[in-house]
Structure 1
């Protein structure tokens, strides 16, 4: 989408990535994906958020994406899914922000998308903390996630300050999916994996035009 009038936003929450890469996902540190492509779900769960005069706290935005090579090179083919708990005004604000129309760093992120196939509304069940739990969009995405506990005391393994980090020094918790399935046949996006990457970290975006 082309950029329109810029507007202020301030968003705080978590970024959750679930994908077809091995553990951990090389895309997250700016390297090429395993097997040459990444079939991913990227969920932005907003603990607090304002877009213009719209309070979007508590809502989730999901990007279901086929990434054909290095994530930073762009060319993503994406379906944007907005939490159906959003009012029409909140929905429109979220679509404008996450499709890049409001400028700032979200416009840079949206610039990685070569083809925005569709924007949809659906119920989002986001029950993941530190790469542990379940993420579901009924009938579309189903994922169960467990953390990678690599130290003797059971602490979850983490990355810090990687390519997609937006909060300095915030840990990105590394996990893997015991199951992960996407079912969007009408958009030619259907896949299923087990034992692949998941990663979750604190996330922040702010823009003051």
Structure 2
């Protein structure tokens, strides 16, 4: 008789090591005119995009590590349709993260833990560098400012197209991760990226800014 035993504790640990639940907002600023064509699956203006995609984690954990309150920025040159991939990216990790938190974030957003974040990571063709940097994220409904010290600087304001002055919104977009949640439409007042050491330096004022609630979860 063959008897198979299962090490439940080891299985639970392996599952926890590959799991995550992250909630917050995604903020994108880029070189496209308002509003972002990528959000509806269309090609970027000029045939390419120079953008920053910021994930502000209001609460969350990855591999059992609490990463609540932290930020991660993907500074990306996107050579064509965003969903076609081939992004060239520099990842900026919030300097408030300790080593365990930074490693957990990079494992999750780098696709090592699988799930929907692995699909997102597959769009990146090359991670040029990872930098730890102080990040200021003061943004709500496409209004506010973003700064990664010495690397990214942006201010943005909402597009108020309705008679009551509320922010214009987009629903059911290609990058919506929270069912029924709006993407708030805005435009940059100031938008700068200064990473010449990685071949990334650009300036676009008066272009796209868009912010949406964001959530991704994976438990194998």
Aligning the two structures, in what range does the TM-score lie when normalised by the shorter sequence? over 0.9
Q: What is the aligned length?
A: 205
Question: Cα RMSD over matched residues?
Answer: 0.9
Equivalent in the alignment of 2:103: 92
Superposed counterparts of 1:78-117, under 5 Å: 78-117=89-128
1:57 aligns to 2:68 (yes or no): yes
SS at match of 2:39: helix
Equivalent in the alignment of 1:155: 166
Consecutive unaligned residues of structure 1, counting only runs of 5 or more, are: none
Which of 69, 72, 79 aligns to 2:83? It is 72
1:204 aligns to 2:215 (yes or no): yes
Equivalent in the alignment of 1:137: 148
Alpha-carbon separation, structure 1, partners of 2:78 and 2:177: 20
Which of 146, 161, 176 aligns to 1:165? It is 176
Alpha-carbon separation, structure 2, partners of 1:182 and 1:28: 21
Offset of residue 28 of structure 1 = 1.3
Alpha-carbon separation, structure 2, partners of 1:137 and 1:82: 9
SS at match of 1:105: helix
Larger radius of gyration between Structure 1 and Structure 2: 2
Equivalent in the alignment of 2:187: 176
TM-score normalised by the chain length of structure 1: 0.97
Equivalent in the alignment of 2:42: 31
For residues 17-54 of structure 1, give each alpha carbon's deviation from its aligned partner in whole angstroms, at most 9, with x where no partner exists: 00000100101111000110010000000001011210
Consecutive unaligned residues of structure 2, counting only runs of 5 or more, are: 1-14
TM-score normalised by the chain length of structure 2: 0.92
For residues 123-182 of structure 1, give each alpha carbon's deviation from its aligned partner in whole angstroms, at most 9, with x where no partner exists: 100001000011011210000100000011101000011000000010100000011000
Offset of residue 72 of structure 1 = 0.1
